[in-house]
């Protein structure tokens, strides 16, 4: 009798192969509308999707939204209108390999490249001399940390899930959950949002290299948070399986005692901007309006 995990593995491989080659479904009306309201800019021959909405009259504040893994800028759809009532411009992009942006293969996907793409978008929009607020989630947090390390410009940085526990302080359960989510969701998402050939295992694990990059460059990215004078704020859902309560919150406060924190209702999990858009938006605006 073989070990159970061997049997599961033998069964999973053909099922995964079939799943990865399921034809992509048609875009929903909501996604079609999201795409039609955005545009593209080119970064090193790659077409990068972004949205740029003008909002509040009389405000000069700008916010750039950095999405998580394995999703896209559409993660911010439920708070977009609320942000436009506070900010002069609300901007979001799909990182390369995600959403409506190109998904080159073979390609060495990296957090460093994604940060450079954000810088490229800032230059493309002529905003490189202006103060910018960053609103980030999950994968986007690490991109924000790299931008903070580079000190491109003065930033008002807000991190939803900083995941400072990456590497030697990382919770193993969180890492496992993230890989599981990736295996289930990334191929479906990238097939849905661009009419590209179906995702394959090489593409999947190329994207997943960010986990190893977090471990390798932990000192660089956590160090940027610990040494900055830029205001930081964490908005946290206690039911988050990736950053379990209360261990994650205790570690966050220990590593970044200068950061402020908003804890949402007990039933809120890893995507609070979708699960509780009103509470999320109120927490963020309270932080922004405190300056």
Question: What pLDDT score does 203 carry?
Answer: 78
Burial (0-12, 13-18, 19+ Cβ within 10 Å), 51: buried
Pick the CATH number of 26-289 from 3.30.1220.10, 3.40.50.1820, 3.40.30.10, 3.40.50.300: 3.40.50.1820
- Per-residue pLDDT of 191-203, as tens digits, reads 444 434 445 667 7
Report d(CA 285, CA 133) in Å as an integer: 12
Helices (H) and strands (E) in the chain, counts: 12, 8
The answer to whether residue 70 scores a pLDDT higher than 60 is yes
Domains of the chain, by residue range, sit at 26-289
Of 90, 70, 66, 80, nearest to 30 (Cα)?
A: 80
- Alpha-carbon Rg for the chain in angstroms: 19
DSSP label at residue 126: T
Give the pLDDT confidence score for residue 69 in this predicted structure: 93
Taking the model in full, what pTM does it have? 0.80
């Amino acid at each position: 009798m073989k070990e159970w995990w061997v049997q599961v593995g033998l069964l999973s491989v053909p099922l995964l192969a079939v799943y990865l080659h399921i034809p992509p479904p048609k875009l929903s009306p909501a996604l079609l509308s999201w795409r039609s309201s955005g545009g593209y800019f080119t970064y090193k021959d790659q077409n990068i999707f972004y949205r740029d909405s003008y909002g509040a009259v009389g405000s000069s504040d700008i916010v750039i939204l950095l999405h998580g893994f394995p999703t896209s800028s559409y993660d911010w759809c439920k708070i977009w209108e609320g942000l436009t009532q506070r900010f002069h411009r609300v901007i979001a992009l799909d990182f390369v390999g995600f959403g409506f942006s190109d998904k080159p293969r073979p390609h060495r996907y990296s957090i460093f490249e994604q940060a450079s793409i954000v810088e490229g978008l800032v230059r493309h929009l002529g905003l490189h001399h202006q103060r910018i607020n960053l609103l980030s989630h999950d994968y986007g947090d690490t991109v924000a940390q790299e931008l903070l390390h580079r000190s491109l410009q003065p930033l008002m940085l807000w991190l939803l899930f900083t995941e400072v526990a990456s590497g030697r302080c990382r919770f193993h359960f969180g890492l496992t959950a993230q890989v599981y989510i990736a295996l289930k969701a990334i191929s479906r998402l990238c097939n849905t949002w661009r009419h590209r050939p179906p995702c394959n295992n090489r593409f999947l694990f190329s994207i997943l290299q960010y986990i190893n990059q977090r471990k390798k460059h932990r000192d660089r990215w956590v160090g940027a948070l610990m040494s900055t004078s830029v205001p930081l704020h964490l908005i946290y859902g206690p039911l988050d399986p990736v950053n379990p309560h209360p261990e994650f919150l205790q570690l966050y406060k220990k590593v970044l005692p200068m950061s402020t924190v908003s804890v949402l209702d007990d039933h809120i999990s890893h995507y609070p901007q979708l699960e509780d858009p009103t509470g999320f938006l109120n927490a963020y605006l309270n932080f922004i309006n405190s300056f």
